[in-house]
Amino acid sequence: MDMNSAKTPKNQRKPIKHPASNASEASRKAKIKSMVHYAFIVLCGFILYGNTFSNDYAVDDKTLIMSNTLVHQAKYGQLISHGTYYGYVNNNSGAYRPVAMAYFATLYQLGGGKPMLFHVFNVLLFALCAIGLFLLLKRLFVGIRAEVLLAGILLFMVHPIHTEVVANIKNADELLCLAFSLLSVLAWIRYLQRRQRKVLWLSLCAYAFALLCKETAVGFLPVYLCVIFVCAPQNLKGALQSGLGFLGALAGFLLLRYFVLSETFPHSFLPINNSLYAIPSLPNLWATKIFLLGLYAFKMLWASPLSWDYSYGAIAQHSFADIRVWLTLLLLILSAGIVLRYYRQKAVLVLGIVWFWALLMPASNTFILIESTFAERFLFSSSVGFVVILLWLFIQLPALGKKIMGGILLISMVIFSTQTISRNAQWRNDTTLVQADIQHSDAVRIHMSFISDMFRKAEQTTDAAAKRQVLDSALLYAQRAKKILPDYAEVNYLLARSYLYLQQKQEAERYYLVAIQQNPNHNKALNDLGVISSGRQDYEQALKYFVRALAADTTDYKSAENACIEAFNLKRYPLADFYCLKAMKINPSSPVAQQMIPKIQAELKKLDTVK
C-alpha cells in the first residue's frame, strides 16, 4: 500500500473551518480592533486634558452655571421655555440652547456644583467627538489603513485651538453640538447607502438636538448636501428630497427660538465686545471681515498666541491695502473654484472644504454681525473639515511626499501637545487665565479683568511696598486700556479707581466725571464721587451723588446707607430716616442703618421737643 495514500488518523486531522465561522472570527477581530482604537482615542483625551480636572470655573461659566438659578434648581421645563441666560439676567434675550442648559443642570445636581465633574465630562465629550470623527473618516476614506486615519484624529485632538472648548466648562455646548452633528452626518451617510427610513429619522433628530445645543449647527446644511455627492451621486433627486427634512428641522428650531426669545436678533451689541461695530467705513468693514476669515484659517496652521477674549483692541481695523486681506480672498476664490469644478470627481476634498467654511460662517461675522469679534471656539466644528482636507492631500502624495508631510505633521503634533497641556494650566481660573493673556493681548476686556484682579490682590496684601507695586501695575494697564478705548465708561471708571487706590483723588475725580458723562447711571462711579466729596466735607454734593447712585441701582443698599449718613451730616434728619429705612428694606441686616437709626430717632425727638 502506498504510504502517501494512507488515511490520516482521526485525532491528527486538521479541522475544516466553515466559511461562516471564518466570517464570524474576522468580525470578532474587527470589533476588538475597533475597541482598541476607541480606547486609544479616549486615553489620548485624558492624557491631553487630564490636567483640567482640578481647574475651577472660569469666565462665562458664571452666567451659564455658577449664577444661573434655573441650572441650580434643575428646572428643566423652564430651561426649555426660556432663553439660555434667563436664570442669570431674568430676561429672554440672547441665545436659545435648552439641551446644553439641561446638560449643565444635570451635572450640577450630580456633582453638587463642583467643577470637577463638568471637566471630566468635557473630556469624555471631546473623546466622543474624536470617535465620531474617526467613524466619519472610515466612511469617507474607504480602504485606507486605520493607522493613517488615527493620525488625523490625533492631529484633531492635540490641536491647541481646542483648549478653549475642552478646558472651559461653558463650551460643552460646542462639544454637544459637534457630537450630535457627527451622529447626524453618519446616519445620513448610512441612509444614503441603505435607504432605511428609521436611519433618516435618527439623522434628522440628531440634527435637531445639535441645533438645540448651539445655533451654529445651521452651518451643517451645506455639509448634508455635499455628503450626497460622496455617497449617492447616482440618485441625486431622491437624496435631495430626503434632505429637505433638514430644512424642516431648522425651520422648526427657528420657529421655537422665535417664540421663546423676546429679542431674536439683538442689535444692542457694543463695540467693546465686537470691534466691527466701531468701523464706520464699509470697505474697511468688509476688508476686516475677510481678514478674520484668513485669521481663522491661519489659526489652524499655527494657533499661538491663544486668548480667551478678542474684544475691542485685540484685532485692528483693516483695509484693502493689507496684503493679508487679498491672500484670504485668493484662498476663498481657490476654495470656491475647487468646489465648483470637482464636486463630483473629488467629492471628499470638496466635502472637507465645504465643511470648514460652512461651519465657520455662522459665527464669523461675514454675513451677520454677532456679539464677538473672533473666538477660538468657533473653529471647533470647522476643524473637522481641516482634518479631512489634510488626509485627502496626504493620500494623494507619492511615497516621498508622504514621508515629508508625515514628518511635518509629527513635529507639529509634538509641539501642539505641549502647547495644549500648557494652555490647560492657564485655564485653571480667571486669574491665571488673565495673567497669561495680558502678556500678549491688547483686548480691552482682558485689561479690565487684569485691573480688577490687581484691585483684589491689593486689598489682600498687607505689605505696603508690595501693595504699591500691585496698584502701580493696575494703573499702568488702566492707562493702556484708556488708550485702546477712551470713550468707554467702565475703562474710565477703572482708571479713576486706580488713582483713588493710590490716594490721587484729584485725578480720580477727573476720570469719575468722565465715566458718568459717558454713562450717567454708572452706580459705582457715582458712589465713589460721593465718597470723595464727603472726604472734603462737601456733604451736599456727596448726598446728590449717593441719591443718583441709588436711582441708578435701586438694589444697592450701600448707596442708601451713604445717603443716610450725608443727610445726617447735613442735619436733615427726616431725610436721613427715609434713606435708613430704604437701606433696611433692601437689606434688613444693614449694619450702617442699624447703627444710624437710634441716632436719627434721638435727633428727631430733640426736634419734637423744640417744637
How far apart are the two ends of the chain, measured CA to CA in Å? Answer: 146
What is the C-alpha separation between 579 and 570, in angstroms, rounded?
13
In percent, the amount of the chain with pLDDT more than 70 equals 94
- Encode pLDDT of 144-161 as tens digits: 999 999 999 999 999 999
Q: Which amino acid is at 252?
A: G
pLDDT value for 233: 67
Give residue 497's pLDDT band: very low, low, confident or very high (50, 70, 90). Answer: very high
- Selected residue with higher pLDDT from 104 and 347: 104
- Encode pLDDT of 44-65 as tens digits: 999 999 999 999 999 989 888 9
Is the per-residue pLDDT at 387 higher than 50?
A: yes
pLDDT value for 20: 58
What mean pLDDT is predicted for residues 166-192? 97
Which DSSP string corresponds to 565-592? HHHHHTT-HHHHHHHHHHHHHH-TT-HH
pLDDT value for 11: 52
What is the C-alpha separation between 51 and 167, in angstroms, rounded?
9
C-alpha cell at 321: 491695502
- In the DSSP assignment, the letter for residue 269 is -
Residue with cell 511696598: 465
What is the C-alpha separation between 200 and 220, in angstroms, rounded?
16
Phi, psi dihedral angles at 523 (to 5 degrees): -55, -45
What is the C-alpha separation between 607 and 601, in angstroms, rounded?
10
Residue 62 CB coordination number (10 Å): 14
Which DSSP string corresponds to 146-181? HHHHHHHHHHHHH-GGGHHHHHSGGGHHHHHHHHHH
Residue 107 CB coordination number (10 Å): 21
Give residue 512's pLDDT band: very low, low, confident or very high (50, 70, 90). Answer: very high
What is the C-alpha separation between 563 and 534, in angstroms, rounded?
11
Give residue 15's pLDDT band: very low, low, confident or very high (50, 70, 90). Answer: low
Is the per-residue pLDDT at 116 higher than 70?
A: yes
C-alpha cell at 570: 447735613
Q: Which pTM does this prediction carry?
A: 0.90
Lowest mean pLDDT among 6-20, 230-244, 275-289, 320-334: 6-20
434-462 b/e (C-beta count within 10 Å ≥ 16 → b): bebbbeebbbbbbbbbbbbbbbebbeeee
Which of 533, 515, 537 has the alpha carbon at shortest distance from 525? 515
pLDDT value for 603: 83
What is the C-alpha separation between 186 and 202, in angstroms, rounded?
10
pLDDT value for 3: 41
Give the domain 434-570 fold.
Answer: 1.25.40
- Encode pLDDT of 393-443 as tens digits: 999 999 999 999 999 999 999 999 999 999 999 999 999 999 999 999 999
Which of 378, 373, 374 has the alpha carbon at shortest distance from 274? 373
Query: Which residues sit opposite 263 in a β-bridge?
Result: 93
Which of 505, 506, 512 has the alpha carbon at shortest distance from 527? 512
Q: With beta carbons less than 8 A apart as the criterion, state whether 346 and 206 touch.
A: no
Q: Which amino acid is at 435?
A: Q
Q: How far is CA 372 from CA 57, 257, 380, 429, in A?
A: 21, 20, 16, 21
- Encode pLDDT of 301-341 as tens digits: 999 999 999 999 999 999 999 999 999 999 999 999 999 99
CA angle 146, 152, 153 (to 5 degrees): 85
Do you know the residue count of the chain?
611
Residues of the chain with CATH 1.25.40.10: 434-570
pLDDT value for 347: 85
Residue 335 CB coordination number (10 Å): 17
Residue-averaged pLDDT of the chain: 92
Give residue 536's pLDDT band: very low, low, confident or very high (50, 70, 90). Answer: very high
Q: How far is CA 293 from CA 275, 330, 372, 484, 534, in A?
A: 15, 12, 14, 23, 53
- In the DSSP assignment, the letter for residue 16 is P
The three-class DSSP label of residue 375 is coil
547-557 b/e (C-beta count within 10 Å ≥ 16 → b): bbbbebbeebb
pLDDT value for 231: 81
Residue with cell 427660538: 257
Residue 18 CB coordination number (10 Å): 9
Is the per-residue pLDDT at 569 higher than 70?
A: yes
